[in-house]
Amino acid sequence: MNKKFLFPLSNLQMFSRNTDVCNVNTYSDSCEGIPKSAKREEFKLFTQSQLDMIIQGRLVRERKNWEKQQAVREMKINVKEQLLDLCLPIELAELVDYTNLHTCETSLQFIVQTFQDALEKSECRMTGYILCSERKDVDK
Give yes or no for residue 132 having a pLDDT over 80. no
109/88 Cα distance (integer angstroms): 12
39-91, pLDDT tens digit by residue? Answer: 556 788 889 999 999 999 999 999 999 999 999 999 999 999 999 999 899 99
Task: Judge whether residue 26 has pLDDT over 50.
Answer: no
State the DSSP H helix or E strand holding residue 52, giving kind and residue range, or none if neither: helix 48-85
For the chain, the domains span 52-139
Q: Is the pLDDT of residue 16 over 70?
A: no
For position 140, what pLDDT does the model report?
A: 47
What is the rounded average pLDDT for all residues in the chain? 77
